[in-house]
A = this chain, B = another copy of it.
Amino acid sequence: MKLLTTAITTALFASASFAFADPLPSWSDTAARERIISFVDSVTDTASDDYVTPADRIAVFDNDGTLWGEQPVYFQLIYAIDAVKAKAAEDPAFLTTDALKAAAEGDIEALAEGGMDALLEVINATHSGLAVEDYQASVSEWLDTAKHPTTGLGYDEMTYQPMVELLSYLRDEDFKTYIVSGGGIHFMRVFAQRAYGIPTEQVIGTYTETSYSVVDGTPVITKEPGIAFVDDKEGKPINIDRVIGKRPIIAGGNSDGDFPMIEWTTAGEGARLGMILHHTDAEREVAYDCDSHIGRLCDGLEKGPDMGWLIIDMAKDWSAVYTAGR
């Protein structure tokens, strides 16, 4: 009889803990967590005035600095620099310009001094002239081996555990989760499904020119020099309109490049949630905002709160940072 009672109790307990499983275990018990959950409750409860039909539950998130790290420079730029180094090791004649030489030496300061032109040279040299599949195989190989200069982690271990939980929680509540990022679509799609559970068709971002041609009877899509669309600032709402065709009800970012996307989202009728991740955690990550050369955040901090946006304080609101477990 005792055995039976234990079995029943265990079963009940297991079922109860399942029903009340915490959807956001890496979020501290603060107002930020409470606000997110109460927003989701309100738009998914058919009895609520704020109820939103599943087809309109669109949530968009920036990637760099919002879903994974972005310091000391965007990880995609580190990929490009590593790709220049690899090409130069094979053939030193590849280093035809000062920008490529700076990249090969890992001299990010010199590269930064060259401005956008220097950066474009490095991007063109590593992101064009090859089939999309071949580019993505190269990114995949890099992700398997490359380590971040200060954490020593693989780059895809530097995704943020609380955000991965948030994405999963939203999908469980019938949201469609999208990335809307200044990063390149072909780059992000290599890991978005595995790292975030986001399929390629929900990855929106910057893209290079591409061409379609039939080579020896085989159709191929080739990445070409030049950037066809920059998915940053006003480009974000413009691209969301182009690709999704609906105004999201949740938008999250971490820099002023995300301002128009969050502004457009939260200006819509009905319940909306805008959120800004404020990098306040010098101990576990990097503390930066208005003065940062990457992920600069001034307007969002200044105007966001008055517009009702949730400012997430990484140090205070997150009990864990990286999916790597630190």
Contact = CB atoms under 8 A, between A and B. Distances in A.
Contact of A219 (B199, B200, B213, B237): B237
A214 B267 CA distance: 10
A168 interface: no
A287 to B, nearest CB: 30
A105 interface: no
Interface in A195-247: 199-201, 203, 207, 210-214, 218-219, 221, 234, 237-238, 241-246
Contact of A245 (B200, B263, B264): B200
A135 to B, nearest CB: 12
A251 B208 CA distance: 25
Contacts of A211: 234, 238
A244 B185 contact: no
Contacts of A221: 237-238, 241, 264
A34 to B, nearest CB: 28
Interface residues of A, number: 33
A55 interface: yes
Nearest to A221: B241
Contacts of A185: 242, 245
A77 interface: no
A85 interface: no
A312 B165 CA distance: 47
Given A200-B246, A245-B201, A263 B132 contact: no
16 contacts: A176-B201, A185-B242, A185-B245, A200-B244, A201-B243, A201-B244, A207-B242, A210-B238, A210-B241, A213-B234, A218-B267, A219-B260, A219-B263, A221-B241, A221-B264, A243-B243
Interface of A: 55, 58, 132, 176, 185-186, 189, 199-201, 203, 207, 210-214, 218-219, 221, 234, 237-238, 241-246, 260, 263-264, 267
8 A-B pairs closest in CB distance: A200-B245, A212-B234, A219-B264, A201-B244, A212-B237, A219-B267, A221-B241, A189-B245
